Chain A
Amino acid sequence: MSGYRLKPIPPGDDVEFEFGGRTLTGHRGEPLAAALLASGIRVVARSFKYHRPRGIVGYGRHEPNAHVGTAKGNALATILRVEDGLKAWPLNCWPSVDFDFGALADRFGALLPAGFYYKTFMGPGGRFWPIFEPMIQRMAGIGKLPTDPAPLRVEKRYAHCETLIVGGGIAGQQAARDAAKAGGRVWLIDDGDVPEISGVTVLRDTLVIARHEGGLFVAVERNPNAAFEARTWKIRAARAILATGTVERPMIFRDNDRPGVMLLSAVRRYARDHGVAAGKSVVVFTNNDSGHRHARELTEMGIAVPAVIDLRDGEAVVAALGCPVRGARIAKLDGSGTRDIACDVIAMAGGFTPLVHLHSHAGGKLRYARDFAAFLPDGSHDGAETRIDLPQDHLLARWEAPDTGGKAFVDFGADVTAADVRLAAREGYDGVELLKRYTTLGMAPDQGRLSNMNALDILAREKGVTPDLVGTTTFRPPFVPTEFAALAEPTGKLLKPSRTTTLTAWHERAGAVMYESGANWRRPGYYPQNGENLDAACARECFAVRNAVGVYDSSPLGKFEVIGQDAGAFLDFVYATRLSDLAPGRGRYALQLHEDGRLFDDGIVFRLSPERYFVTTTTGNADACLQRFEYCRQVLRPDLRVHIVPVTEQWADIVVCGPQARDALAKAGIAPPRDLGFMGMAEIELFRRRCLIARAGFTGELSFEILLPNSAAPALWDRMIAAGAVPVGSEANHVLRIEKGFISVGHEGDGIAGPDDLGLGFAVHAAKPDFVGKAALLRDRTDTSPRPQLVGLLARDPDFVLPEGAAILRADAARGRGYVTASCRSGALGRSLAMGLLEDGRALMGQTVSVSLPGGDAGAIVVKPAFYDVSGGRQRV
């Protein structure tokens, strides 16, 4: 036994918990580390690389070693609270923490210096690495996945304040009182307990983990109420005071990682705050006044301190003896005068390092303060001022004892020794960033909080410069490791919320297979009946459209009203197609181009009246079209008097299509205006509401597109179903449009093709004075290199459906010269059909090309991309 309780646990506050299979007793609410120390458990973990036995070094967040496992994931023993039923176990050891096979690595430690893995495990030509790698992976790593799959219960909140104070110590509390007097919303955040302060909102058990630009702070509150385990705050503060305190700096000597070597500040906190003595006899090793001051406090609390070894007196602890510690070896700096002192704790007191992480996170610069051998914020940054009081302790800037062999650790968490730092520097990794990357210094879960300054000091000495010339690495968020769930946006249904139409419920009731389509809409792909598969359902739906009547929910289509006396001129500028000469009541297929002349979007634009147009775009591009319309209106053509009203969500859109469309509408009690011709649009009253009806569609059949207020859509849909119209999904639409050779921007657009490549030159009116993409189109005409051109493809085997995406081969067969963009089995034509983009494809009409397939290429004949009702008579009836 080593540690003990300075006073007994008050009756009723004692709880049993389990650590590594042993049942122990602790004080309810104290850190697990305190309970382990009090129970005399000294070895609590194995180290990362050498698997050396390790004990508790620090207090609270500042602990490099004591990672323990629990059912809910990995935690620090210095943070985890003792509660009824707590079960924790040591990590990174097998079979047990006291006897770990991995510790063989320590025996061969001399062969495993910094960067050892770069120099070996290669074998001839580097071929052996795949054999060695899994072994290294098993030795490395620390934690395991939680065994309890229950998700972290977390909520998010926003807050805004004039003054935010981070840290509720003496400096923080004073700053809060001052700020409250000045007025405005004042928030104080601390990860422990803080008393109430009048006029200040206090968040307790809350840790600020990051400061981002613009005064955005992220904080995680633990157990805010019974419903949640964590609450993540995003706080915008006009001004912030960072009173985040310090962490004590370790000393460097042989075997300074043995269980029993601790920070003096930690020994003091366990005694003062939890009544736990970390050992019976504490030797203090220091280089400044604080070692003596705090040693006296220990003595006052009844803990024996047989010696305070002070480097300033020319003496050092040169080695920890025993494992766990049973003594300290002391020597003069020249190596003489060796003596051993029996003790079970060696307490390191190397001065204090300010925690400047939050200052640094958002880009604040640091300066080196020689008096304290520490980096301090160089002024305030982006509204945040750091307030950290450092005591004047007459520190001697030396932390390292004379080398007596063995391993003297700089970074306990990453298992980096002083010799590793020197080796790296001598091999040329002598900048602070290279050093970190070569040795992995500062990359363990404690992120080098205890080690960075000591490593800098060694590196500076190795280079013969002062630490400020070496500089420090950048502190990165988060301040402490934080659960991904606590950082995440809402998941599940709230992750990219999907959009629904007023008919979505009907589709789902009808058993439609719904899936993600563009712009987060969920749409019916097909409506299987009586156990139909996709092909059968799709064929039945297509048959209905070609031979009877189908009905399609086209509500997600992008829709805009463009209004104003210059509406026509505006659309002439935005579209490559001329639209200003449309007669009211008429529509036209129109193209938008990217600035570089490639196809951006297509759709039908109708003119409702001289100053009012109704514009449709593809579903996926509706948002992008609004941005573009407003860009053209406000930035490029502010001279035009026009308004743009996005109405995608305002109108439901039901398409009734097929040779019997007119009859079905009649049965449903709807009479389209008699003079409504192909590509015409008219207002119509349905259900006593103003609606629009158009003769347009994507199927090549007689087609009525009815735009109506959302609330009226289910009634119309029900009537159309009652009138015998067959519901049709996206899959059938895909087949029907291939049969017609209509392009889909998502399939044939490909990001590269221009309108002429796609056979859409008819929709470009280049005689217009200017439109987006015009200059690039004219330039393209001078480029003679081959272009991808849209073609139809008929597989030699009419029963074989060419796979979409398959490459179309060039004569030299090694490379593709195009690919199949869309492909289907056509019921109407009784064979397979495909379209593709093929380099100079129009020159190859009638020729056979090969389509690359895994089991051998397939032949296909290049034809014009139009297969069904090529003259277009059916849609015009």
Chain B
Amino acid sequence: MRLVPCPHCGPREQAEFVCLGETTPREIYFRDNAKGPVEELWWHKHGCRQWLKLARNTASNEFGA
């Protein structure tokens, strides 16, 4: 996994984070689960403990796409 670009802490190992998934309107169960660029919510659990909105490409795992 790539390093996660935390805007508060800098690039950090992914193991420090929890990925909650897409930020698109959430019904309780249903998801877009899009392949390609998405905006996701990540939680820097073992870091600044901030929830982050990050852009990532689920087809390549690249951040900031």
> Within the complex, are A and B direct neighbours (CB within 8 Å)?
yes
Contact B51 A634 (CB under 8 A): yes
Asked if A799 is at the interface (CB within 8 A of a chain B CB), the reply is no
Minimum distance in angstroms from A771 CB to a CB of chain B: 14
Which chain A residue lies CB-closest to B61?
A213
User: In residues 6-60 of chain B, which contact A (Cβ within 8 Å)?
Assistant: 18, 20, 28-29, 41, 43, 45, 49-51, 60
Task: List 24 interface pairs A-B (beta carbons < 8 Å), by A numbering.
Answer: A212-B1, A213-B2, A213-B61, A214-B1, A214-B2, A214-B3, A236-B3, A363-B60, A595-B28, A596-B28, A596-B29, A627-B43, A627-B45, A630-B43, A630-B49, A630-B51, A631-B20, A631-B43, A631-B51, A634-B50, A634-B51, A635-B41, A635-B51, A776-B28
Nearest first, the 10 A-B pairs at minimum CB distance are: A214-B2, A634-B51, A596-B28, A595-B28, A213-B2, A635-B51, A214-B3, A213-B61, A627-B43, A776-B28
* C-alpha gap A595/B31 in the complex (Å): 14
Contacts of A776 in B (CB 8 A): 28
Q: Which residue among A213, A363, A595, A596 has the maximum number of chain B CB atoms within 10 Å of its CB?
A: A213
Which chain A residue lies CB-closest to B26?
A595
Minimum distance in angstroms from A586 CB to a CB of chain B: 29
Minimum distance in angstroms from B4 CB to a CB of chain A: 9
* C-alpha gap A216/B50 in the complex (Å): 25
* C-alpha gap A213/B41 in the complex (Å): 21
Minimum distance in angstroms from A190 CB to a CB of chain B: 26
* C-alpha gap A334/B43 in the complex (Å): 70
User: In residues 219-247 of chain A, which contact B (Cβ within 8 Å)?
Assistant: 236
Contacts of B29 in A (CB 8 A): 596
* C-alpha gap A214/B20 in the complex (Å): 21
Which chain B residue lies CB-closest to A363?
B60
* C-alpha gap A212/B13 in the complex (Å): 13
Interface residues of B (CB under 8 A from A): 1-3, 18, 20, 28-29, 41, 43, 45, 49-51, 60-61
Minimum distance in angstroms from B17 CB to a CB of chain A: 11
* C-alpha gap A627/B61 in the complex (Å): 23
Minimum distance in angstroms from B49 CB to a CB of chain A: 6
Minimum distance in angstroms from B45 CB to a CB of chain A: 7
Interface 0/1 of A630-664, CB less than 8 Å to B: 11001100000000000000000000000000000
* C-alpha gap A776/B26 in the complex (Å): 13
* C-alpha gap A212/B1 in the complex (Å): 7
Contact of B1 among A213, A596, A630 (CB under 8 A): A213
Contact A627 B18 (CB under 8 A): yes
* C-alpha gap A363/B59 in the complex (Å): 11
* C-alpha gap A236/B1 in the complex (Å): 11
Interface 0/1 of A76-116, CB less than 8 Å to B: 00000000000000000000000000000000000000000
Contacts of A595 in B (CB 8 A): 28
Minimum distance in angstroms from B5 CB to a CB of chain A: 11
* C-alpha gap A49/B53 in the complex (Å): 54
* C-alpha gap A595/B2 in the complex (Å): 30
Minimum distance in angstroms from A238 CB to a CB of chain B: 10
Minimum distance in angstroms from B33 CB to a CB of chain A: 17
Which chain B residue lies CB-closest to A236?
B3
Which chain B residue lies CB-closest to A634?
B51
Contacts of B49 in A (CB 8 A): 630
Which chain A residue lies CB-closest to B45?
A627
* C-alpha gap A382/B53 in the complex (Å): 23
Contacts of A630 in B (CB 8 A): 43, 49, 51
User: In residues 580-600 of chain A, which contact B (Cβ within 8 Å)?
Assistant: 595-596
Contacts of B50 in A (CB 8 A): 634
* C-alpha gap A595/B29 in the complex (Å): 9
Q: Which residue among B2, B18, B60 has the maximum number of chain A CB atoms within 10 Å of its CB?
A: B2
Interface 0/1 of A185-228, CB less than 8 Å to B: 00000000000000000000000000011101000000000000
* C-alpha gap A213/B50 in the complex (Å): 25
Contacts of B45 in A (CB 8 A): 627
Minimum distance in angstroms from B36 CB to a CB of chain A: 15
* C-alpha gap A377/B51 in the complex (Å): 39
User: In residues 585-639 of chain A, which contact B (Cβ within 8 Å)?
Assistant: 595-596, 627, 630-631, 634-635
Minimum distance in angstroms from B52 CB to a CB of chain A: 9
Which chain A residue lies CB-closest to B29?
A596
* C-alpha gap A596/B29 in the complex (Å): 8
* C-alpha gap A214/B28 in the complex (Å): 33
Which chain A residue lies CB-closest to B63?
A214
* C-alpha gap A266/B28 in the complex (Å): 62
19 more contacts with CB within 8 A, not counting A596-B28, A631-B51, A634-B51, are A212-B1, A213-B1, A213-B2, A213-B61, A214-B1, A214-B2, A214-B3, A236-B3, A363-B60, A595-B28, A596-B29, A627-B18, A627-B45, A630-B43, A630-B49, A630-B51, A631-B41, A631-B43, A776-B28
* C-alpha gap A216/B14 in the complex (Å): 12
Minimum distance in angstroms from A687 CB to a CB of chain B: 32
Contacts of B1 in A (CB 8 A): 212-214, 216
Minimum distance in angstroms from A335 CB to a CB of chain B: 52
Contacts of B41 in A (CB 8 A): 631, 635
Which chain B residue lies CB-closest to A596?
B28
Minimum distance in angstroms from A303 CB to a CB of chain B: 51
Contacts of A214 in B (CB 8 A): 1-3
* C-alpha gap A212/B51 in the complex (Å): 26
Minimum distance in angstroms from A365 CB to a CB of chain B: 12
Minimum distance in angstroms from B28 CB to a CB of chain A: 5
Q: Which residue among B20, B29, B49, B60 has the maximum number of chain A CB atoms within 10 Å of its CB?
A: B49
Contacts of A236 in B (CB 8 A): 3
Which chain A residue lies CB-closest to B20?
A631
* C-alpha gap A363/B41 in the complex (Å): 25
Contacts of B2 in A (CB 8 A): 213-214
Minimum distance in angstroms from A368 CB to a CB of chain B: 23
Contacts of A212 in B (CB 8 A): 1
Contacts of A216 in B (CB 8 A): 1
* C-alpha gap A213/B60 in the complex (Å): 9
* C-alpha gap A631/B21 in the complex (Å): 13
* C-alpha gap A328/B1 in the complex (Å): 52
Minimum distance in angstroms from A647 CB to a CB of chain B: 14
* C-alpha gap A595/B28 in the complex (Å): 6
* C-alpha gap A212/B61 in the complex (Å): 11
Contacts of A631 in B (CB 8 A): 20, 41, 43, 51
Which chain B residue lies CB-closest to A624?
B18
Contacts of A634 in B (CB 8 A): 50-51
Minimum distance in angstroms from B12 CB to a CB of chain A: 11
* C-alpha gap A776/B49 in the complex (Å): 28
Which chain A residue lies CB-closest to B52?
A634
* C-alpha gap A23/B45 in the complex (Å): 60
Minimum distance in angstroms from A462 CB to a CB of chain B: 33
